[in-house]
Chains A and B, each alone.
Chain A
Amino acid sequence: MKFWSKVFAIARKDTLSELRSREILSSVLMFALLVIVIYEFAFGGDPDTIKTVAPGMLWTTFVFAGMLSLNRAFIPEKEQGCLEGLMICPVSREAIYAGKAISSLLFMLIIEAIGLIAFTVLFNLPVISLPVITITVFTTIGFVAVGTLFSALSVNTKAREMVLPILFLPIVIPIIIGAVNATQAALASGSFSDVGSWLQIIIAFDVIFSVVSFLTFDFIVVE
C-alpha cells in the first residue's frame, strides 16, 4: 500500500510540475501536429494512398513524439539535483520507476489523444475507434515501460538526445511493428477480431518488458 502511495506521489509531483511548465506537452504536441500536417501535405490528395500509409504515419508520429517526451522525463530530476533527492528517500527504486512511468504514460496518452483527433480531422480516417484506441493504449504502455528505463540511463550521458533513440528504438521495434500491423487491420475491418493476434503480441511485450524494466531500474540509477 505504501509502495503505491509513493508511486502516485511521484507521478502527482511530475504531473503538477508539467502542468505548471508545459515543457513536454506543449513542445511534443506541437511537434506531433506539425508532423501530421506535413503528412497531410505529402499524401493528402489520394484517399487510397492515405489508407495504405496511415498506420505508418500514425506510428512514426507517435514514436518520435514519444521519444521527445521520454527524453525530457528525467531531465528536471537531473538538472536540479532532484534525482539525488529521490535516491536518499526511503523509497524503492521500483517505486521511482513506476511513478516516472505513470506520469510519462499520462503525458503520452494526452498527446496521442490529440494526435488521433488531428488524424481524424485532416485525413478523414476512423482512427477514433475502440480497436485503434486499445492498440494505442497497449502499445504506449510497452513503449513507456522501456522508454522510462532508457531515459534514466541516457540522462547521465552527454549526448542524451542521441543516445536514447539509439538504445531504445531497436528494443521497441517489435511492438511498433505490431502496432502498425494491428492498426492496419483495425482500419481495414474496424473490428477487434482481426487485430487479436497482433494485440496479443503487444500485450506480451508489455508484460515482459514492464517486468524486466521494473526489475533492472535499480541497476540503472544506482550511480
Chain B
Amino acid sequence: MAGELDSVTRPLAFKIQGLTKSFGNRQVLRGLDLEIEAGKSVTVFGPNGAGKSTLVKILATIMNPTSGTVFINGQDLKQNAWAIRRHIGLITHQTLLYGNLTGRENLEFYGRMFDVPDLKSRIQEMVSLVGMTARQHDRVATLSRGMQQRFAIARALLHKPSIVLMDEPETGLDQEAIPLLWRAMPDNAENVRTVIHVTHSLERGLELGDRFVILDKGKIVYEGVREAIDLAGLKDVYRKSTSMST
C-alpha cells in the first residue's frame, strides 16, 4: 500500500481525514485520508472517474465535501474557506480567463480580486515570466490554446499563493512552455509552496512530484515517494492498482 515517506518534519499544508463526496447516489470520494507537508509537491494519478478533479475542487473551496474534514495550512476548510482562498492558486485544463478581455485585463481583474499589492509591476513580472509580454494586450479569445494556458499560469501565480492546485495543467501547452509549470513548484526556503498536481501522464507526474498517490474509485490505492520508484515501477504499480493498462 505505501512506499517510504519523507522523514523531514514540516508543518502540514493539507490534513484530509475521511473525505467523502457524493453526487446523489454516486459516491465519488470514499473516505480519503491524506497528509501533505508544506513545501512538498504531490502528484495524483488515477483513471477517469477516480475522483481526482473532485478532490481538487474541494481543496480549491469550489465544492463542499459530503463528509470528512479538511485542514489547509491549519485552517478548517468549512469554517475558513475565505481565508484559505488567499493561499491557493488553481491551474486547470480550463483557463478561467475571459475571452473578450485581454490577457492583461484578465490579470488586472484577478489581481483586484486577490488584493495584489503593486499590481501593475506584478502583472508585468508575471507576463514576462510566461513569455507573453508581446501579446498581453490581445484578447484572450484570439490567442492559441497554449498562449491562453500561459496566461492561466500567470493568473494562478499572480497573488503568490503558498499552495498551487494543478488539474491537468499541461493541456494545450507546447513542449517549450511545459517547463513554465516548474514555476509553480516549491522553489526555496523563503517561498515555501505546496503543490498538488493531477495528471494522466505518469512521466510528467514522476518528474514534478516529490510524492505521488494513485486514486481509484474514490480511494487512495497507492502512495509513494519519487526516490522509491522509477517510471517502469510506477507503470507497473499503476496497472496493478487500477486494473487498467497505462
Contacts and interface: CB of A to CB of B under 8 A. Distances in A.
Chain A bound to chain B: yes
A85 B92 CA distance: 10
Interface of B: 57, 60-64, 82-83, 85-86, 88, 90, 92, 94-101, 105, 109-110, 112-115, 139, 155
Contacts of B96: 80-82, 84-85
Nearest to B90: A88
A89 interface: yes
Nearest to B84: A90
B100 A88 contact: no
B64 A222 contact: yes
A165 B213 CA distance: 46
B94 A21 contact: no
Nearest to A95: B113
Interface in A180-223: 222-223
Given A5-B112, A82-B96, A90-B114, A16 B101 contact: yes
Contacts of B82: 90, 92
19 contacts: A2-B115, A5-B112, A9-B109, A13-B105, A16-B100, A17-B100, A76-B99, A80-B94, A80-B95, A80-B96, A80-B98, A81-B96, A84-B57, A84-B60, A84-B62, A90-B83, A90-B85, A91-B113, A223-B62
Contact of A87 (B61, B99, B101): B61
Contacts of A158: none
Nearest to B99: A80
Contacts of B105: 13, 16
B2 to A, nearest CB: 31
A178 B37 CA distance: 60
A20 B61 contact: no
B92 A81 contact: yes
Interface of A: 2, 5-6, 9, 13, 16-18, 20-21, 76, 80-82, 84-92, 222-223
B139 A6 contact: no
A18 B110 CA distance: 18
A88 B98 contact: no
Contacts of B101: 13, 16-17, 20
- For the complex of A and B, the 3 pairs showing the least CB-CB separation, nearest first, are A81-B94, A85-B96, A89-B113
Contact of B98 (A76, A87, A90): A76
B97 A88 contact: no
B97 A80 contact: yes
A128 B86 CA distance: 48
Contact of A88 (B60, B64, B94, B99): B60
